[in-house]
Structures are given as structure tokens and as C-alpha cells.
Amino acid sequence: LYIGEEPFRYLGANIYWLMAEASYGEEGKANVAAALDDAVSLGVSVIRTWAFADGPGAPHLQPAPGEFDEATFAALDFVVAEAKARDLRLLLPLVNHWSDYGGIAAYSRWDTPPREWQPGDACPSFYSSPVSRAQYKAMATAVTSRVSNITGVAMRD
């Protein structure tokens, strides 16, 4: 792995819950800051944290296809800004195969016709369904083109 011409070596951590925690007000934001401080103290330089929460339930980034929750987006803005302040890099998955926080199960339920999702059986349909693919692409575009209300920088940058 390289950044420019230089090899990039890193210690990473999976702290998937940062956006959700930041959405719980000042106490949640303090917990996020503490988790990031702990990561830095351990020498971590890359953190994987989810940039999705699909379907009903709180917090949700995308409660329904193409519908986005500004308060949860603001929580993600906070996470990105706090990571940047600590020179941490983020890996931001936009979906996963677990039904927690929605994942491909949400896209399966939103498909036409809706499908009830079972672990392992929705994967092929998620990738082959034109409806699911279009919904995911719209979500990915919404997240990556989002301009932070804290930093003024688009997520993709």
C-alpha cells in the first residue's frame, strides 16, 4: 500500500459504532473523542467505522431508500472531523453483510418485490438486483458527495 510514492504501513482498529455513538448528543461525542484518543495512544493510525445505518430504528442514516437523516449525517461529520484532528485515517464501509445497522438486509427488504433476508441468501440477489444496486449507488453517492458541516470538505476528499 502506498500514499503517493511512499509505502504506507499502519496499525488499524475496527470501531464500527462511532457514528451511532456521536448521534447520542454531547455524552456520545465525548465517548467518540475518548475512543479516538485511546486509539492514538495505542499507535493506531487507521480506523474502520461504519458510514451506514439503513432502515428503521435509531440512529439511522438512511431510514428509507434515498431518504437521509441530517442529524446522523452531522454525527458522521463529527467523527470525520475528530479523526482528522488526530491525524487518523478512516475506512468508511457503506454497507455490510450483517443485518445490524441495516446492511444488505435493508436493501433486500426495499427491493421490488421485497424479499425477506436470511444470512447468506441475500448476497447474490443484492449484487444482481437492479433495484438494490441503484439504491446502494444513490446511498454511496450521498455519503461520498456529502460536504461536512464542520470541515466544509466533501467526504470523498
Task: Give the C-alpha distances (Å, rounded to integers) separating 157 from 80, 94, 147, 154.
Answer: 11, 16, 9, 5
pLDDT reported for residue 141: 97
pLDDT reported for residue 120: 59
Per-run averaged pLDDT (10 residues), the chain, 157 residues: 93 98 98 99 98 89 95 98 98 89 87 66 75 94 96 92
Query: DSSP string spanning the chain?
Result: -EETTEE----EEE-TTHHHHHTTHHHHHHHHHHHHHHHHHTT--EEE-----BSSSSS-SBSBTTB--HHHHHHHHHHHHHHHHTT-EEE--S--SSSTTSHHHHHHHHSSS-----TTTSHHHHHH-HHHHHHHHHHHHHHHTPBPTTT--BTT-
Instruction: State the Cα–Cα distance between residues 43 and 10, nearest whole angstrom.
Output: 9
CB 92 within 8 A of CB 155: yes
CB 104 within 8 A of CB 97: yes
pLDDT reported for residue 146: 96
The fold for domain 2-144 equals: TIM Barrel (3.20.20)
> Would you list the domain boundaries of the chain?
2-144
CB 62 within 8 A of CB 53: yes
Q: Calculate the dihedral angle through the C-alpha atoms of 125, 130, 135, 140, rounding to the nearest 10 degrees.
A: 90
Which is it for strands 89-91 and 12-14: parallel, antiparallel or unpaired? Answer: unpaired
